[in-house]
Amino acid sequence: MDFNLSEEQQLLKDSVDRFILDDYDFEKRRKTSSTDDGFSRDNWKTFAELGWLAVGLPEEYGGFGGPIETMIVMEAIGRGLVTEPYLPTVVLGAGLVVEAGTEEQKTEILGAVAEGNCMLAFGYAEPTSRFNLADVTTKAEEQGGGYVLNGHKSVVYGAPSADRIIVSARTSGGVRDRDGISLFIVDNNAKGVSRRDYPTADGLRASEVMLENVEVGADAMLGAEGAALPVIEKVVDRGIAALCSEAVGCMEMLKDETNEYLKTRKQFGVPIGKFQVLQHRMVDCFIELEQSRSMTYMVTLKLDEDEKERRKAASSAKAQIGKGGVFIGAQSVQMHGGMGMTDELKISHYYKRLMQIDTMFGNRDWHLKQFAALTQ
């Protein structure tokens, strides 16, 4: 057993941490997050130059590293509350291509992702699916050697800036059948694709993606027809691990900031950290963070185990992170008093991100139910 980083991993960590510290201060982040894109394309170029967009991709396509490297990058993304669409592009989009893509698809897409020339998004949710990845009503019908897509994908993070959107669609079977789901790579500006773009409460960008008679070639299909669900689940579990790492970064930042505030804010002639109720609350935050970090290591190291072990790891980690993140977020606001309510302090922004992290890929209730079913 070893929880230490290798020398190369430590170098990667130093490099992302330094970038967040030196080049991603909160005021800069506030500015870029309020532009139309909601992020900075210059930053994206820097990410490419520093190699972070190649993390987790196979070496033959210019990539390096695996889940641990992704964890390192995502934790820094959490600390900096980074708005660049790293998760949709590198972890989800490229992850699906790595898992299921043909040689041509990999060659075409992965290199471009690593170089910063291709952004991706993944549309898996629909208005009535809630958190069930198998609940797919979007249809793909064969026509003239290709497919015609019709459907509505909801709250697709990263879609406004994506070059291509990967969507799940049904090629056969009933609405919630595990079989019959396929993946398609769709050009964002293809005929029949329309979007309603919007900012999200956590300062990112997402879209409703409407597909109306979108014609794609057979080469747009990612993986085998009708067999996409296991691939989706595997990549979403990687997404969950990445999200857990991001959450740990957010929680750590909140813990540090709030701890510092308790030492400096004075009421009744003493630092408010002298009040035992706040000491104990801070201890609870610290313990939530430590549990969340441990669960993040656990799921990260179990991503390549068999399906049942992997899913158990992902659901248990996500349930802990959802609870811990929202707790630390809400308590950080509370312990900052009125200041915690402001848009000016970063505290509330981290809280809002942690709320979305609890929801993304299924909230705490959803994952508790998955975990219960897997461990009965």
Q: Which residues bind other proteins (CB under 8 A)?
A: 125, 127-132, 135, 154-155, 175-176, 196, 198-202, 206, 208, 266-269, 272, 275, 277-278, 330, 333-334, 337-338, 340-344, 348-349, 351-352, 355-356, 359, 363, 365, 368-369
Gap between the Cα atoms of 178 and 186, Å rounded: 22
Give 58 or 337: the residue with its C-beta nearer to ligand FAD.
Answer: 337
334 interacts with ligand FAD by CB under 6 A: yes
Gap between the Cα atoms of 330 and 328, Å rounded: 6
268 interacts with ligand FAD by CB under 6 A: yes
Gap between the Cα atoms of 312 and 367, Å rounded: 9
- The crossing angle, in degrees rounded to 10, of helices 67-80 and 7-23 is 20
Segment (H or E) for 116: none
DSSP 254-320: HHHHHHHHHHH-EETTEEGGGSHHHHHHHHHHHHHHHHHHHHHHHHHHTTTS-HHHHHHHHHHHHHH
Tell me the closest approach of the beta carbon of residue 268 to ligand FAD, in angstroms. 6
Q: Which stretch binds ligand FAD (CB under 6 A): 74-82, 178-186, 273-281, 319-327?
A: 273-281
Give 133 or 285: the residue with its C-beta nearer to ligand FAD.
Answer: 285
For residue 125, what are the CA distances in angstroms to 122, 164, 179, 209, 285?
9, 17, 17, 10, 32
Q: Which stretch binds ligand FAD (CB under 6 A): 40-48, 72-80, 331-339, 351-359?
A: 331-339
List the x/- string, 275-314, binding to ligand FAD by CB under 6 A: xxxx------------------------------------
Q: Which stretch binds ligand FAD (CB under 6 A): 159-167, 205-213, 263-271, 366-374?
A: 263-271
Give 5 or 330: the residue with its C-beta nearer to ligand FAD.
Answer: 330
- The crossing angle, in degrees rounded to 10, of helices 364-375 and 307-335 is 150
Q: Which does 343 bind (CB under 5 to 8 A by kind): other proteins, ligand FAD, none?
A: other proteins
Q: Which does 359 bind (CB under 5 to 8 A by kind): other proteins, ligand FAD, none?
A: other proteins
- Any residues with CB less than 8 A from the CB of 88 and at least 6 apart, and which? 119, 120, 121, 122, 157, 158, 159, 162
Gap between the Cα atoms of 221 and 219, Å rounded: 5
Instruction: Figure out which of the listed residues 34, 213, 267, 279 binds ligand FAD, where binding follows CB under 6 A.
Output: 267
Binding residues for ligand FAD, rule: CB under 6 A, are 265, 267-268, 272, 275-278, 334-335, 337-338, 341
